[in-house]
Structure 1
Amino acid sequence: MSGAEAALLGVGILCNAMQIITFAKDSLHVYRNIREGRAPDPKLDSYLKNAKSSFDEMNQTASQMGPLSHVQQQIVDVGIKVYDCVDELQQKFAELHVDEASKRGLRGKVAAFRKSAATLWRGKELEDAEKSLQRHEALLHSLLLDRICSQSQATEITSLQSFQHLDGALQGIILQLVDGSTKVSDLITDCSSNICDRIAEEHSATRTAIEDHVTSAENTIRLNICHSIAQIRQELLQIEKDKAFEKQQEQLLSSLRFPEMNSRKNQISTNYPGTFDWIFNRHLSLQSDHSFASGSDISDSDSQLSQESDMEGCNCLEQTNGANQQVSDCFPRWLGSDSHLFWISSKPASGKSFLMMFLAFNQQTAKYLNRWHSNVRILTHFFWKPGHSLERNVKGMALSLLFQVMSGRPSLGRTLYEYQPSTKHKITHSDWILEELADSLIWALKASHEPFCIFLDGLDEAKELEHLPWPAWTNAHVIHKLSELKNVKLCASSREERAFCSFFEGSSQLRIHYLNHCDITRFVCKRLETGGLNCGDQGILIHEIVYDSEGVFLWAALVVDSLNRAIRQGYTSIDILRERLEQTPSDLTTLYTDMWSRIGDDGQLRTVKETASRYFNLLITARKMDEFQGSHILDRQLFSCIMNSLPVMATAVEYQLMESIISTGREIALEELLARCSKTEKELRVVCRGLLETTSGFHNEMYCVYKGDERLKDYNVMRIDFTHRSAFDFLVDTEPGRECLQACGLSESDQASILFASYLVTARFLSVRDRYGLDYRSRRIEYTTNKEALTLNTYLKSALIILSKTGPFAEQAQRETLFQIVEKWQLSGLFYGHEDWTPAPCYKSSLSNLKLEFIETLIDTTFWYGGSSDFVSHARRLLSNYSVPILADAIPVILRALSGEHRFYNDIRALHELLKHILCRFKGIAPRKTQQQGTISSAIRALHCWYITRCLEYSLESGGFDVNDEFVDTELFSQLRATLVLETDWQYPILFEFIGSRHHHLELFNYPSTIFLPAHYALVVGNFASAYRLLNKLKIGHLSSNVDVEAPHSARSQFETIILADINHFTVDYYIPDIRLYGPIQYQLYSGLQAGTRIEEQQPWPHLLHCSSSELEPVDRSKVFDYVLGELKDRGVDFFIINGIMLPKDWDESGDD
C-alpha cells in the first residue's frame, strides 16, 4: 500500500469518527429534549442510521489497512466508544417510544408517563454520556493531522480525477490539509456544517418519498462513496506501479550507459559553414567538380548555394567518375525509398564523420525520411579506434543503440523485462554480454513498432571487423541483422576496404572523396591567409591545393596550416609557395613524415620535435593505462580520474623524472597547476601541428559530483586526444611514426611512472563520487554501516587498481616503489576529500583513519575490481608488510571491504588464501604476548563470524537445496572451527539478516540492490551454536567428512529477533517483537531456509504471526537505528554492516533524516 493510499484511508477513518461524534451529539440533544418534555426531532431516525453507517464504514476501512499506526488506532477506539454510546441511546429511545394508538385512553397515558418517568430517573447517566463524548471529541481535537496524512500526500490525492467523486466531508478535510491545517479541531466546525447540510437535504427528501426509496437512495450514496474511494485507491496503486516501473527503467538505462557513449560524437566539431549542402542539391557538386573558383567566385557560389538550397525536392543526378564507375547514388531518394542500406565510403580523412554528423542531425534528413514513414526516430553511433574499448567495439555500439531505443519508452522496457527477465538484474554495462545486447536490440527495434534510421560511423574502426572478410564477422552479425529489419534504414560509413566492399555490394553508395571538392575549395578560401597575393595568384594556389588533396580534407587542412606558417614568416611569393606545395607529399602518411623532418620550419626544431614526441608518447601510454583501468572498473566516477586529462598531461610534460614530480607535487600551489594547464592548451596547437587537440570528455556531471576548485574541474574534464585516427595509425603503424616517437627519449615504463606521479598531483586538489550512488552522508550513522554508502577516495582507488597488476608496470620492484609512494601520499593526507570516509562503528582502533582507509581501499580494489589470483597475491604481499597488531586492528575495515556487493568473486580460492594467510599470522603470535591476545582473539572471532555467515549466505543462494561447495574451504573452515574450545566460545553472538519475497526464496541478506519487492526482513541475534546447527540443517556437512559442523549438545543456541520489517516499493514498516514471538519467527525463517520457499506473499508480519500490536509493536522509522544499536550493544554484538535498517531513503518517503 502506497503512502498516499494509506493516508487516504486514514483520513476516511478520521472522517467517519468525526461523523459518529456529530450524530451522537445530535442524538443526545434529541434525548434531552424528550427528557425535558419537548417534542422529538423528526431527524432522529436519520441521526441514528447515519451514525451506524459511519461506524460500519470506519470498521471496513480499518480492516483494509492491516496493522494500524498508533494515531489511527486512537481514532478507531474513539469511534467505537462513541458508537457504543449511540447504541445505548437507541435502546433508550426504543423504551421511550409509544405509538399513537397506544396513547389513547387512560391506560395509554399512564403507560407513557411511566416510560418517561423511568427515563428521567437516569438523568445522571445522561450527563456522564455527554461528558464522555466531550472527552473523546477533545482527544480527536488534539491529534496532529500530519501523522495521518501529510500535506504532500493530500495534494497528490486532490490531483486525481476521482477526487471529485469523494464524499463532501472527506473532500473538505483533504482540501484543508492541502491548505496547511495541522489539527483536527480546525476541521470539526466545517465537517459538522457539511454533515448537517447533508442530513437536512436527506430529511427533506424523506418527507416526500417512500421509505423504501429513501433506503435505496442512502444505499446508493454509500455505494457511490465507497466506489469513489476504491477508484482513488486504484489510481494510487497505478501510480505506485508506475513509480516502480520508472525505477526499473532508470536502472535499465543506467546499465546501458557508459561514460564515453557520446564522447566521439561530441568530439566531432560542426561541419565547416556551407559544406555538405550539395548532398541535398547534388547538381551543385557536379558544377564544382569541373571547376575551382577564385576567392570572388566562391562568394558567388555561396550566394547560389543559399538560393538553390531552398529548392523543394531533390533534383540531383547519380554520378560516375571518369572511368564510368558509379560514385554516388541519390541520398535523399534513398531516404524516401523502401531500400534499407546505404554506404558512405571514402579515402581516410576525407570527412566521413563530419558528413555523418551533418546527415544525422539535419532537418532535411527528417523531411525526406517522412516520405518513407512518418515520425522516424534517428539513432547514431560513432566508432573511434583510438578510444576506449567500448568506443571501438560492437558491444559499445549495441549498448548505445539500445539505450537510445529504450530512452523515453518505459512501456517498451516493461515488455523487454517479460521477453528477457534477466534484464531486471543488470546494474552496469559489465553485466551485459554481446549476445544478450544484440538479441535485446533487435527485439526492441521490432517490438517498438516505430520506424528507425540508424547512422553508424566508422565501421572500419570497430575491433571485431579489423582484418576480417565478410561474412566472417562472427561477433558483428548484429550489424547484418539491423540491415534486415523492415522498420530500419541503416546508413553506415567506412573506408573502402575489401570486407566492406563485399558487405555493401549492391547497396546504395556515396563516395565522398569524389564529391567534396567544392567543400574543400570553400574551406581553403576561408582559411588560407592570402593577404599578400593578388586575386589571380590566390586562385592558382587554391586550385592546386584542392586538386592535390584528391578529396582528403585533412590533407588540405594540414597543408593550409603549413602554408600559413610560411606566409607569416614572410614567404608571400607565389613561386615559393607553389614550390613548397609541390614538395608536400600527396600521401597522408608521407605528409605526416614530412612534417617532422622539415628543417627550419619553426625554429629550435629539435626542441619542438622532442616536445611533440613527448606529447605523443605520453598520450599513447596514458590511453593504455586508462584502458587497463577501464577493463576492471564499474564505478562511473573512476572514468573521471584518467591519465589523458589536461591537468595530468600538463604536469607530466614538464618533467623528465618521476621523483621530481613527487617532490615538487607535494608543495605545488593550485595556481601553478592552473597555469600549467593553460600553457599546455596553447602549446599543444603549436608543437603538435594539429595532430593532437583538447576535447571535452563525456559530461562527467551527468554521473559525478566533484569537490575542489571549479577552474581545475573545468580543466579536468578536458582530454588530450588525436584529431584523427590516421594520425594515431601513422605514429604506431609506420616506421617514420615510430621514429618520431623515439625522439622523446623515455621508455614506456618511465612515461607510465611520470603520468602516475602527475595523477597524484591532480588528486591533491580534486575528488569525485558517483552522483547516482547511494548517498547516506546526510543520515548520520547509516553512512557508517551500509557498504554501498561507504565513499572510498576515487583517486586512491584508481591508483591502486593501476598498481594491482603488471599492466603498464612490468617490473615488480617498480610497482612496489610506486605503492609505497601512494601509501605515503595517503598517510600524509595529500588525497583530497578524506572527510567522506568513516570507520566502522563498534570498534575502537589504535590506527589512524588515513591508515584504515588505505587498507580498506586496498582490499576493496583487490576483490571489487579484480579478484584474480594476481590481484590477491599482490594484496597479500602488501598486507605482509604490516605487523600483526596493525592487521588485527584493521580487521573491521578489511571485512567491510569484503562485504557488500562482493557476492561473486572472480577467484574464490584466492580469497580463501588471503583469509588463511591472515588467520595464520594471528595464530603465530606467541601465547606469552598476553597484551596482544585480547585484540587478536577479537579479530579471529570477527573473521569467524564473517566467514560462517558468508557460508550460510552462499549455501542459500540456489534456494537452500544445492550447496555452493566452492565457497566452503575445508582447511579454513576447520581452522576456524578449532578456535571454539570452551563452551562460552559457542555463546559468542552473531548477527543474521534474513530477507525473503514473493519473487525470491528466503536467504541471508547481504546487499540492498538484490531485494525483490515486496519483501520480509528480520534482524536476528544468534550465536556460533545456532549458526553451526543451521549449517548442519542445510546439509553443508556432506561436502567433506573433514568438515565438522556439529555444535556440542551442551552449547545453547540463541535466536533473538531484534526487529522485523515489511519492505514495500515505497514504504518500510518496522516492528519490535515480544519475546513470546521468538519461537514462531524462528519457525517461519527456518522453514523458509530449509525448504527454499517463499514466505506467503502479500502477508505482512502481523498476519503471518497472527499476533496483536502489543506482541508486535510498530516502531517509527526514525527511531529504528538507535533502538537496534542499543540492543546490539546490550548483547555485545560486533557488526560492520546492517543493510535492512539502512535502506535508501527513497524506499520510505515518510522516513526522517
Structure 2
Amino acid sequence: MSGFEALGLACCVFQTISFTRETANVCKAIYQGQKTPDSMLEENATAMIQAADEVKASCRLVSTPEEKSLANIAEKCAEAAKNLETEVQKITKLHKKGDFPSAMRARARSLWKKREIEELDDTLHRYTGTMQTLLINQICSQSKALELRQRQDFVKLDQKLQSFIANIAAGRTNMEDLLQIEGNLTREHITVEATRAVKSVEAHVTKETQERELKAATENQRERLLGSLRFQEMNQRRNETTDPENATFKRIFQENDSTTNLGETTESRYDTDEDNTDEDYTDKIDVVWQHFVDWLRSGEGLFWVQGKPGSGKSTLVRYIIDDEATQTLLNQWHSGTRIISHFFWKIGTPMQNNIKGLFCSLLYQLLQDNEKLISFLIHTFPLIQSKNYPYDWSDGDLERVLLTALEANEVAQPVCIFIDGLDEYNGDDGDHGLMDTIQRLIKSDKVKLCVASRPEPRLLNRLNKVPYLKLQDLTEPEMRDHIRKAFDRSVQNGNPSVEELDVLAGRLLAKAEGVFLWVRLALQTVVRGIENGDSGVELVTRLMQLPNDLEDLYADMWKRLNQDQPLYRESAATYFQLIIGTGREEYFVPDRDDDDDVQPSIPLLTSLYIACATQPTLQKTMLPMSVDTNFKGQLRELCRKTENEIRTRCAGLVEITAPEPWLRGKLPDEENPMWELLNSVKFIHRTAHDFLVDTEQGKRILSHAKFSRSEMYFQTMKGALCWIQLVSEAFETYYDVSEVLEALAKAFKLQDKYKSSSHRAMELLSVTQSFYEKGLLDLFDVQWPRAPFLVHLLETDPTLFALVEQSIDATVATDILRGVTWSFLSKTDEPRELVANLVSIGADPVAISPRAVGALGIFTGTLRKNAIWKLLDEFLFRQWSPRSSSVTARRATEAAAAMLEQCPVFDNWGLLEPFELESNSRVGSYSQNGARGRYFRSATAVFLVLEANTSFLLKHVLDSLSTPDRTELKSVVQQLESRVTNPAARVFSVLFGPGSGQGSWFRVVNQSPFQNITASIFSYAPRLNKNLDSRQQFQGWRLGPCKLEQGGFDWSHEVRKLPKSGHNPPTFRALRAAAELYGSESGFDPGSAREHDAEAF
C-alpha cells in the first residue's frame, strides 16, 4: 500500500469516527427526551455508513504492521457504525409521528439504551487517541505530509484526501480538529452530490410528468373528437349486407385476385371444382372488370358501380373494401392509400341516410388512427374541442373539417372513398346537393371516390360521363352455379332430367337479367314444383308465368298465398304496417360493467315487439307494470306464434333472423333468456319495402290491415312501452324519457287530426309517467335530483303540458319552475308568459331546493338553488357557447321579470358554475361531456369557482341586452334595475390539474390578486393579460388548501350510476316518423276511415 493509500484509509477512519460519534450524540439526545429533527438523524446515519463502506474497501490492501494496526481500528469503527445504524432504524420506527404505542415503547427502550450509547461514545473516543498516535508516529508526520504535497500525482487525489494531507502538513494534527474538518468537508461533498442528484431526478421527473400530462391531454382531445363523430348505426348497413364469402361474385373475385399480382397466376379462394361458365362470356366479364381494376391502379376522380335493384351492389362494395387485393391495387396509384367508406340506407335512421351521417362516418375513419391529423385539425379549428355528440356539429362545420382533413398536404394520406347507395340518400338538399358534395370531395389529387347506386334517371344526368360498370353484366356465372346447387338439393330419382334442368336454368338466367334477388325468389317456386314431382314442361310453364320485374314478382307471391284468405291478408298487412311504421331497427344498448368496445345491442324490430304491438290483451296485462313471473313465461310461446304467422302469412317478403354476433357483443344465450325473444324482423330486401310503400299494388295490400292510421300509431307506442318494460328489467337499464315524450306528442297530434277519442293518448301519458317514476325512463343528461316528470313534458310539448296544467298545485308548480332548463327557456318565444302562468298557479321563484342540484360529475351539486338563481346562473354559463346570441339576454330578462313581480325579497349569495382558464389565456366555461365522463380539456387546466349575489347576475343579464332590446323593453329594464342593489362577485376557490378527474382544491384567502380576473370573466370578449394555465402563475397568491366540500361542492346526496360510453338506446325517432307517415295525406291508406277505440288497458 503506497503512502497515499494508507492516508486514504486513515482519512476514511476519521470520517467514520466523526459521523458515528455525531450519530451517537443525536441518538443520546433523543433518548434523553430532546426533540431532534428526523432529517438530522437520517443524514448523519447515511454519511456514517458511506464512510464505513469506504473503510471496508480500503482494508483489503494492507501489508505492513502499521497498516494492519490501522486496518484493525478501521474494522472496529465500521462494526460500531453498523451497530449504530441498526439502532437508528429502531429509533426512526419507534418515533413515527402519530403512532402512540410506538412512542410508548420508545420511552421504555430509552431507559436501558441510553447507557449503551454512552459506552459506544467512550469506545470511539479511545479509537480517536489510538488513531492520533498511529498517524503522527507511523503513517504520516508533518514532514511526510509536506513531501506528499510536492508530488506530481497529488492533484489526482480526491478532494477529501487532498484536504486531509494539507491539514497535517499545516501542523493541524490534533484529532478533534481533524475530525471536525473532515466531517465538514465530507458533509459539503455529500450535499453537493445530493443536490446534483436531486436536480437530475427532478428534471427527469418534470420531463416525464410533462410528457405524461401532454399525452393524457392529447388522448383526451382525441377521444372527445372521435366521440363527437361516432353514432351507433355507423357500421350497421355494411355489417348487414351479405357476407362476400357467401356471395355469388366468384368470377369477379377470380379476376381481382389474378390481376393483383400483375399477371402472376394465383389460386383464387373462390375456385370451384366444376366450371359451367361459357368462355366467351367470361372474356366479356374480364373486359368489364378490367375497367375498374385500371381505375384503382391509376384512375382519378369518380367511378360508378351501377346495378339493378337486388343485383348485389352493397355486397360487391363491401367485398372491394375488405379484400386485400384492393389495397394492393390502390398502392400502385399512391403508396399508403387509405380506404374509407359509407353506406347510405333509405329505410334506416336519419344518420344513415343524410349528409351529416356521411360526414361523421368519413371523418371518424380518417381520424381514427391519425394523431397528427387530429392535432392539426384541433389547432386549425379550436371550436371542435367543444363538440361532444354528432348533433353538436352543423353540416357546414363538418364539411369544412372533412375537406381540410382530405387536403392537408403535410399530414393527410391519399384516400379512396367508397359510398354505397346514392339512390338511398334522403337529405334535405336532394340528389343535386349530394352530387355537389361529392364533387367537392374529389377536388384534391390525393382523393378518388367510387359510388354505387341504381341507374336512376336523376343520377344518370350527373354520372353519365364518368367510368362505370354494370353489375348485372358480371353475375351470370355465379347465378348459374347457385341454380345448379339448388337443383342438386331438390332433384330425386333423375326427374327432371339433366337436359330439362339445363333448359330451366337458361330460362331462369334470361328472366333474371342479372338480378340475383329475382333468381333467389323465383327458385322458391321452381324448387317447390320439383319437390311436388312436376315434369320438365310443367316446371318451365310455372317459371314462365313468373313476372320479370321484382315488384311484379312480389305481387305474384302475395297473390298466390293470400288471395283467398282474408284472415291471412289482415294479419300480414298489419305486420307490414308495423315494420314500415317503426322503421329500420333502432338499437338498445344495455349498460354493462365491463369496458368492451363491442356492447350488446338489441334491435327494436323483434318478434317480442311485434307481439306486444299486435296483442291488446298483452298490453292490458303489461302496461300497469304488474307482470308476474308466470305471465313472462308465456311470452316465449307468444313470440314463437308470432314468428310462425310472419313466416306463413307474409308471402316471403319478411324474414326473421337471430341477432347478429356483432350486435350481441359477448352476451351468450344462457346468460340472459331474453335473447330468445329478440329475433330480428325485417324485409328481405329494400325492394320489398319499396313495393309495399310506393306501388299501387303494395298500397292495396296494406289497406287490409286491421288498424286505422291513428290506431296503428297508438299500437306501436303501446308495443314499444311493453318492450321497454321487459328489456329494461332484463338488462337492468333505462330508456330516454325525452324520446318517448316526443313520440307521445305525435300521438296527440294524430288524435286531433282524426278527431278520435283522447282517452287513449291520456292513458299513454299516464303509463309514461309511471315508467319515469319507477326508473324505467330517465334522461341521459343526468341531473340530481331528477327533474319532475312534468318538466320533461313541458319542455317536450307545451301544448301537451297544457292538458294537465290545471291539475297541479303550488308545490308542483314550484318544482317545475325550478326544474325548467335555460336551454328550453332560451328557445321559447314567450318565456314571460310561460313563467307567469306557473307563478299564477303558486310557483315560488325564491323557494330553495331541498337538495343540491347539478349535473352528475366532478362538479356535482354546486349548491341548493332557487328558480331565479338557476335562471341567471345558467344564462351566464351558456353565454360562453358559440351559439349564444343577443336574443337569449332578452328572453332571460323577460323570464326574470315574470319571476320577480311577486318577490319582494330575492337577493342572496351562491356559487357559480366553474370557469376554466384556458391555455390560450381565454376564459371559458366548464363543460361536461355527458355520458362519456370526460370533463376537462387538459390535465394542467385551472378552474375558478366564483360566488356572487343575485343582483350581480341580474345586472350582468341587463348589461348583455342589445340596444334595440333595451329600448323595446324599457319599462321592464327599469323595473329590474331598481331591484339591483350592491352587485358583487369574488373568487371562492381554485382547482388545479383536474385532468385525471381529481385535482387539488384551494380556498382563496386574499381576493386582491383575482380582481382583474373577475372583471375579465364578465367582459364580452374575455381575454387575460397573462397565461394562467400553470400553477406557477399563482405563486405568491394566498391560497389555502381545502377539501372538496370546503371548495363549495355538496357530495351529501346519493350519486346514481352514470350511463357508460356507448349507452345509446333505441329512440322513438322511428315512431315519430311513423306518425308523420300515418298522418300524411300522400301516405298509404291502411283501410277505411273507421275510428273505433281499441280496448283500454
Name the TM tier (shorter chain): 0.5 to 0.7
Q: Partners of 2:463 and 2:953 in 1: how far apart? A: 65
8 A contact 1:383–1:391 mirrored in 2: yes
Q: Partners of 2:728 and 2:415 in 1: how far apart? A: 41
Counterpart check, 1:916 vs 2:886? no
1:61 equivalent in structure 2: none
Q: Deviations over 1:86-111 (max 9, x none)?
A: 99xxxxxxxxxxxxxxxxxxxxxxxx
Partner SS for 2:417: strand
Q: Partners of 2:235 and 2:227 in 1: how far apart? A: 14
2:524 equivalent in structure 1: 561
**Measured at CA, do residues 335 and 1026 of structure 1 come closer, stay the same or move farther in structure 2, by a change above 3 Å?**
closer
Paired letter, 1:967: R
Q: Which of 808, 811, 827 is equivalent to 1:885?
A: 811
Q: Partners of 1:1106 and 1:437 in 2: how far apart? A: 45
**Measured at CA, do residues 710 and 218 of structure 1 come closer, stay the same or move farther in structure 2, by a change above 3 Å?**
same
Counterpart check, 1:596 vs 2:539? no
Q: Which of 241, 248, 253 is equivalent to 2:226?
A: 253
**Measured at CA, do residues 566 and 652 of structure 1 come closer, stay the same or move farther in structure 2, by a change above 3 Å?**
farther
Q: Which of 404, 410, 421 is equivalent to 1:443?
A: 404
**Measured at CA, do residues 364 and 1104 of structure 1 come closer, stay the same or move farther in structure 2, by a change above 3 Å?**
closer
Q: Which of 850, 859, 869 is equivalent to 2:791?
A: 859
Report the alpha carbon displacement of residue 268 of structure 1 after superposing the two structures with TM: 1.0
Report the alpha carbon displacement of residue 29 of structure 1 after superposing the two structures with TM: 3.1
**Measured at CA, do residues 689 and 445 of structure 1 come closer, stay the same or move farther in structure 2, by a change above 3 Å?**
farther
Where do 5+ consecutive residues of structure 2 fail to align?
1-13, 27-34, 48-84, 100-154, 167-184, 259-268, 588-596, 854-863, 1062-1097
Report the alpha carbon displacement of residue 656 of structure 1 after superposing the two structures with TM: 9.3
Q: Partners of 1:393 and 1:597 in 2: how far apart? A: 36
**Measured at CA, do residues 798 and 204 of structure 1 come closer, stay the same or move farther in structure 2, by a change above 3 Å?**
farther
2:132 equivalent in structure 1: none
Report the alpha carbon displacement of residue 424 of structure 1 after superposing the two structures with TM: 1.4
1:976 equivalent in structure 2: 899
Paired letter, 1:461: E
**Measured at CA, do residues 317 and 418 of structure 1 come closer, stay the same or move farther in structure 2, by a change above 3 Å?**
farther
Q: Partners of 1:210 and 1:305 in 2: how far apart? A: 99
Counterpart check, 1:727 vs 2:682? no
Counterpart check, 1:482 vs 2:445? no
Report the alpha carbon displacement of residue 731 of structure 1 after superposing the two structures with TM: 0.9
**Measured at CA, do residues 696 and 225 of structure 1 come closer, stay the same or move farther in structure 2, by a change above 3 Å?**
farther
Q: Partners of 2:744 and 2:636 in 1: how far apart? A: 27
Q: Partners of 1:693 and 1:224 in 2: how far apart? A: 73
Q: Partners of 1:483 and 1:339 in 2: how far apart? A: 9
Taking the TM superposition and a 5 Å limit, the aligned residue runs for 1:265-414 are 265-271=238-244, 273=246, 275-281=248-254, 302-303=272-273, 329-414=290-375
Partner SS for 2:574: helix
Report the alpha carbon displacement of residue 619 of structure 1 after superposing the two structures with TM: 1.0
Q: Partners of 1:527 and 1:143 in 2: how far apart? A: 85
Where do 5+ consecutive residues of structure 1 fail to align?
1-22, 36-74, 88-129, 145-201, 286-298, 310-314, 321-325, 628-635, 772-790, 842-851, 926-931, 1130-1135, 1147-1153
Report the alpha carbon displacement of residue 558 of structure 1 after superposing the two structures with TM: 0.8
Q: Which of 822, 827, 841 is equivalent to 2:770?
A: 827
Partner SS for 1:260: coil
Paired letter, 2:468: Q
8 A contact 2:602–2:663 mirrored in 1: no
The RMSD of aligned alpha carbons is: 5.6
2:152 equivalent in structure 1: none
2:613 equivalent in structure 1: 652
8 A contact 1:274–1:302 mirrored in 2: no
1:434 equivalent in structure 2: 395
Counterpart check, 1:611 vs 2:534? no
Q: Partners of 1:463 and 1:839 in 2: how far apart? A: 33
Q: Partners of 1:302 and 1:1004 in 2: how far apart? A: 65
Partner SS for 2:450: strand
Paired letter, 2:297: G
Q: Which of 787, 794, 804 is equivalent to 2:735?
A: 794
2:761 equivalent in structure 1: 818
**Measured at CA, do residues 358 and 895 of structure 1 come closer, stay the same or move farther in structure 2, by a change above 3 Å?**
same
Report the alpha carbon displacement of residue 1105 of structure 1 after superposing the two structures with TM: 8.1
Q: Which of 1042, 1047, 1069 is equivalent to 2:972?
A: 1042
Q: Partners of 2:193 and 2:277 in 1: how far apart? A: 73
Report the alpha carbon displacement of residue 515 of structure 1 after superposing the two structures with TM: 2.3
1:907 equivalent in structure 2: 827
Q: Partners of 2:584 and 2:704 in 1: how far apart? A: 20
Report the alpha carbon displacement of residue 1061 of structure 1 after superposing the two structures with TM: 2.2
**Measured at CA, do residues 222 and 681 of structure 1 come closer, stay the same or move farther in structure 2, by a change above 3 Å?**
farther
8 A contact 2:302–2:467 mirrored in 1: yes
**Measured at CA, do residues 134 and 394 of structure 1 come closer, stay the same or move farther in structure 2, by a change above 3 Å?**
closer
Q: Partners of 1:1094 and 1:960 in 2: how far apart? A: 21
Paired letter, 2:991: A
Report the alpha carbon displacement of residue 878 of structure 1 after superposing the two structures with TM: 3.2
Q: Which of 1011, 1018, 1031 is equivalent to 1:1089?
A: 1018
**Measured at CA, do residues 546 and 1144 of structure 1 come closer, stay the same or move farther in structure 2, by a change above 3 Å?**
closer
Q: Deviations over 1:1037-1094 (max 9, x none)?
A: 9563432344779x777878764422442364444537x5367667753554257344
Taking the TM superposition and a 5 Å limit, the aligned residue runs for 1:694-773 are 694=656, 710-713=672-675, 715-716=677-678, 718-767=679-728
Taking the TM superposition and a 5 Å limit, the aligned residue runs for 1:62-101 are 79=39
1:182 equivalent in structure 2: none
Q: Deviations over 1:770-817 (max 9, x none)?
A: 99xxxxxxxxxxxxxxxxxxx9x4154432121134687352766763
8 A contact 1:956–1:1089 mirrored in 2: no
Q: How many residues align?
A: 877
- Which shows bigger deviation, 1012-1021 or 404-413? 1012-1021
Paired letter, 2:761: L
Q: Partners of 1:203 and 1:872 in 2: how far apart? A: 93
1:995 equivalent in structure 2: 915
**Measured at CA, do residues 1101 and 457 of structure 1 come closer, stay the same or move farther in structure 2, by a change above 3 Å?**
closer
8 A contact 1:691–1:722 mirrored in 2: yes
8 A contact 1:960–1:1034 mirrored in 2: no
Q: Deviations over 1:526-568 (max 9, x none)?
A: 2342335333332222222122211111111111112334444
Partner SS for 1:909: coil
Report the alpha carbon displacement of residue 80 of structure 1 after superposing the two structures with TM: 8.8
**Measured at CA, do residues 345 and 467 of structure 1 come closer, stay the same or move farther in structure 2, by a change above 3 Å?**
same
Report the alpha carbon displacement of residue 751 of structure 1 after superposing the two structures with TM: 1.2
Q: Partners of 1:421 and 1:231 in 2: how far apart? A: 31
Paired letter, 2:750: F
Q: Deviations over 1:310-366 (max 9, x none)?
A: xxxxx985669xxxxx96543333322344432221222112122222222123323
Q: Deviations over 1:227-246 (max 9, x none)?
A: 45423422331222122111
Partner SS for 2:341: strand
Report the alpha carbon displacement of residue 451 of structure 1 after superposing the two structures with TM: 3.0
**Measured at CA, do residues 1105 and 357 of structure 1 come closer, stay the same or move farther in structure 2, by a change above 3 Å?**
closer
8 A contact 1:353–1:458 mirrored in 2: yes
Query: Sequence identity of aligned pairs in percent?
Result: 21
Paired letter, 1:478: T
Report the alpha carbon displacement of residue 1015 of structure 1 after superposing the two structures with TM: 4.4
Q: Partners of 1:978 and 1:132 in 2: how far apart? A: 79
Partner SS for 1:644: coil
Q: Partners of 1:484 and 1:958 in 2: how far apart? A: 30
8 A contact 2:921–2:1024 mirrored in 1: yes
Taking the TM superposition and a 5 Å limit, the aligned residue runs for 1:184-203 are none
Partner SS for 1:820: helix
Q: Deviations over 1:572-618 (max 9, x none)?
A: 322322221111111212111111222xx589743333322121111
Q: Partners of 1:378 and 1:1066 in 2: how far apart? A: 35
**Measured at CA, do residues 742 and 1072 of structure 1 come closer, stay the same or move farther in structure 2, by a change above 3 Å?**
same
**Measured at CA, do residues 574 and 672 of structure 1 come closer, stay the same or move farther in structure 2, by a change above 3 Å?**
same
Paired letter, 1:1097: N
**Measured at CA, do residues 466 and 745 of structure 1 come closer, stay the same or move farther in structure 2, by a change above 3 Å?**
farther
1:149 equivalent in structure 2: none
8 A contact 2:1003–2:1040 mirrored in 1: yes
Q: Partners of 2:515 and 2:554 in 1: how far apart? A: 14
Q: Partners of 2:998 and 2:831 in 1: how far apart? A: 35
2:818 equivalent in structure 1: 895
Report the alpha carbon displacement of residue 941 of structure 1 after superposing the two structures with TM: 8.5
Q: Partners of 1:835 and 1:481 in 2: how far apart? A: 42
